Structures are given as C-alpha cells and as structure tokens.
C-alpha cells in the first residue's frame, strides 16, 4: 500500500523560503508510471496545484508559482521536495503531496498524503 508523508516546518516567516519533503513508502519513486506532485489548500479554500516531478528530474510547475518554486527528487531516499521562496501570508495553506498518473490527456492524483499546515507569520 502506497503511503506519502509530508514533513517540514509548521511556521515560516515572511520573505523566507519554505522547504517541505514528501517521503514515499510502498512504491519506488523511480516507478516509470508515475509523477510526484505538490498541491496546497488555503484555509477554507479550494485546491491549488503547485507542480510535479518525474524521477528523472523533469518538472511541470504552476505558472503562477513558477518564479518562486523548485521541486526536486531524491531517488536514493525515495522522497521528493518543495522549495517556495519569498513566502507571504497568502502562502499559508495545508500542503499535500500526491502520486500522479500522467497519461496522454489523462492524469489523476492518488494517493494523497495527510497534508501539513504551513503558516506564514512573523
């Protein structure tokens, strides 16, 4: 059974860089079938796709976050990471990681991690 677990700081100061890690168990991040993604949800709001990465390092980013975003993968430790620079209060959200099936005109996220709340405050 595939499980994903987010980890990282619960509080970040404005202008700092957020670093989160998603540890994958029950599947290899080197799997040729899947990408690995970050999604976030601001308090009381809907879901926002952040980006995803393939084990080769190929990335796809949300254009609205691209200038501040880096997603990387560590195949040796079976985890992938997110770095989001210049954090503001608008980045306060629950951050989820998820496995992604990416096909031609067809993709979906399953399973999801439990999520980790990141607050931005001085």
Residue 108 makes contact with another protein by CB under 8 A:
yes
Which of 2, 47, 85, 117 is the binder for another protein (CB under 8 A)? Answer: 47
Which of 75, 77, 86, 107 is the binder for another protein (CB under 8 A)? Answer: 107
CB of 46 to another protein, least distance (A): 5
Residue 33 makes contact with another protein by CB under 8 A:
no
Judging by DSSP bridges, how do beta strands 3-7 and 59-61 pair with one another? unpaired
Binding mask 48-67 for another protein (x = CB under 8 A): xx--x-------x-xx----
CB of 16 to another protein, least distance (A): 25
């Amino acid at each position: 059974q595939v499980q994903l677990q987010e980890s990282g700081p619960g509080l970040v100061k404005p202008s700092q860089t957020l670093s989160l890690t998603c540890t994958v168990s029950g599947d290899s991040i080197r799997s040729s079938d899947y990408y690995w993604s970050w999604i976030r949800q601001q308090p009381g709001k809907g879901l926002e796709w952040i980006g995803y990465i393939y084990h080769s390092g190929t990335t796809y980013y949300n254009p609205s976050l691209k200038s501040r975003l880096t997603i990387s993968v560590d195949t040796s430790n079976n985890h992938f990471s997110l770095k989001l620079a210049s954090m503001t209060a608008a980045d306060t959200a629950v951050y989820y990681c998820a496995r992604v099936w990416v096909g031609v005109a067809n993709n979906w996220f399953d399973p999801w991690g439990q999520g980790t709340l990141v607050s931005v405050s001085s």
